[in-house]
Chains A and B, each alone.
Chain A
Amino acid sequence: DVKVTQSSRYLVKRTGEKVFLECVQDMDHENMFWYRQDPGLGLRLIYFSYDVKMKEKGDIPEGYSVSREKKERFSLILESASTNQTSMYLCASTKGGQGDNEQFFGPGTRLTVL
Chain B
Amino acid sequence: GQNIDQPTEMTATEGAIVQINCTYQTSGFNGLFWYQQHAGEAPTFLSYNVLDGLEEKGRFSSFLSRSKGYSYLLLKELQMKDSASYLCAVNTNAGKSTFGDGTTLTVKP
Residues of A within 8 A of B (CB): 30-31, 33, 35, 40-43, 45, 48, 50, 90, 94-108
User: Quick check: A103 and B97 within 8 Å, CB to CB?
Assistant: yes
The size of the chain B interface, using a CB distance under 8 A, is: 23
User: Quick check: A48 and B96 within 8 Å, CB to CB?
Assistant: yes
Interface of A, helix, strand, loop or mixed by DSSP = loop
Residues of B within 8 A of A (CB): 30-31, 33, 35, 41-45, 48, 50, 87, 89, 91, 94-102
**A43: chain B residues within 8 A (beta carbon):** 43, 87, 99, 102
User: A-B contact count, CB below 8 Å?
Assistant: 59
**A103: chain B residues within 8 A (beta carbon):** 33, 35, 43, 45, 89, 97
User: Quick check: B87 and A102 within 8 Å, CB to CB?
Assistant: no
Given the known inter-chain contacts A40-B101, A41-B101, A42-B100, please indicate yes or no for A101 contacting B95, CB distance below 8 A. Answer: yes
User: Quick check: B95 and A42 within 8 Å, CB to CB?
Assistant: no
User: Quick check: B43 and A96 within 8 Å, CB to CB?
Assistant: no
Alpha-carbon separation in the docked complex, A108 to B31 (Å): 25
**A99: chain B residues within 8 A (beta carbon):** 31, 50
User: Quick check: B31 and A101 within 8 Å, CB to CB?
Assistant: yes
Give which listed residue, B41, B44, B45, B102, contacts A42 with CB less than 8 A. Answer: B102
